Amino acid sequence: MQFDFSNLLNGLSKLHTKIWDSHVHIWSADAFEPLLKIGRKYGVHHFMGIAAPDVKKTLEEDGHDDLITFAYYLPIDAFAKHEPERILTAIEEAHSENYSMVKVWFGPRFLDFFEADKPFSLNLPIFDPAFTLIEDYHIPMDIHVADPDIWYITKYQDVERYRSKEQALNEFREVMRNHLSLKLISVHFHSLPENLKQVTQDLYDFPNLYIDTASTKWMIRELGNNIERTKEFFEQHYKRILFATDISVGWEDRDEKYLATRYWAQRLFWESNHQKIELPFPDEDNPNSPTYINGLNLSDKILEHFYWKNAEKFFNLS
């Protein structure tokens, strides 16, 4: 059994719920069409799309506003360069432009993109007014806190510059403790698909914290390692997990096949009990490559929440 572009649903059974993809990046309005087309084939009926105001406007004018819940990407260079005023201005814009969410991305390499020359941590007092403003406006925040464990071995040896993963997560926990009414989606399974015990603890400690399954490779590699443990986690926490891909369109060239492989691999993983199916694209982060899909065969009740109801409720649309 393998991915087949001429039979997109190969290996999948009939699905009894709609799917809401809670994390996609839309960098240009034109690029949304192929995502919509392929998404539909896999049962995706709604997107949480991270898009700039002009892209959002065009998509709304094209009549797509009931298909997309929009997130505003805050200027992360302003975090890297310690320019809190620009962050506050951006939050004001997100609010006045009726965004449903703000997005921030703190994969440690963001410091290199902007040649940051000041030490960064998420809980610096200069950033606190930004979190307060987001909280005051009741805008949920989509946050990327850290990267795969393996990257801290291969890419981030300079701990002073990048911080350890544990430190980054501790900073985030402090922000959450200081802003208890902030509603959050911590993407990529809270950056911790490698450590479900810790995710359980944080979900327990922070009732406004939700997690998503963005990054198909990372999730399938780590959560597919021990499917009994992952299934148990889903049984306990399925109301706090949102389906997501992190597909990014309009930046690099993403053809229909690229889009289809992501949806196919994730659906096969969550829904089926197929085991040891080779991931239909390379996973350069797996030292024991290739990465295999080991299906979890989640129940219809769990899929219904994880694929649709949780997102609908999170964004107050039901």
Closest approach of Cβ 186 to Zn ion, in Å?
A: 12
Q: Does 246 bind Zn ion (CB under 5 A)?
A: yes
225 to 106, 218, 281, 284: CA distances (angstroms): 26, 11, 18, 17
Q: Does 271 bind Zn ion (CB under 5 A)?
A: no
Select the span of 114-122, 238-246, 289-297, 299-307 touching Zn ion (CB under 5 A): 238-246
Closest approach of Cβ 166 to Zn ion, in Å?
A: 22
Select the span of 69-77, 78-86, 190-198, 239-247 touching Zn ion (CB under 5 A): 239-247
Q: Please identify the residue of the shown chain whose CB is closest to the bound Zn ion.
A: 246
* Measured distance CA(218)–CA(224) in Å, rounded: 10
- Would you give the DSSP letter of residue 14? P
Select the span of 123-131, 241-249, 269-277, 283-291 touching Zn ion (CB under 5 A): 241-249
Residue 148 phi/psi, 5-degree rounding, is -55, 145
Select the span of 123-131, 150-158, 246-254, 264-272 touching Zn ion (CB under 5 A): 246-254
State which residue, 94 or 298, has the beta carbon closest to Zn ion: 94
Q: Does 212 bind Zn ion (CB under 5 A)?
A: no
Closest approach of Cβ 188 to Zn ion, in Å?
A: 8
Instruction: Decide: residue 121, CB within 10 A, 0-12 exposed, 13-18 middle, 19+ buried.
Output: middle
Closest of 43, 129, 132, 138 to residue 100, by C-alpha: 138
Q: Are 34 and 262 in contact (CB under 8 A)?
A: no
Footprint of Zn ion (CB under 5 A):
246
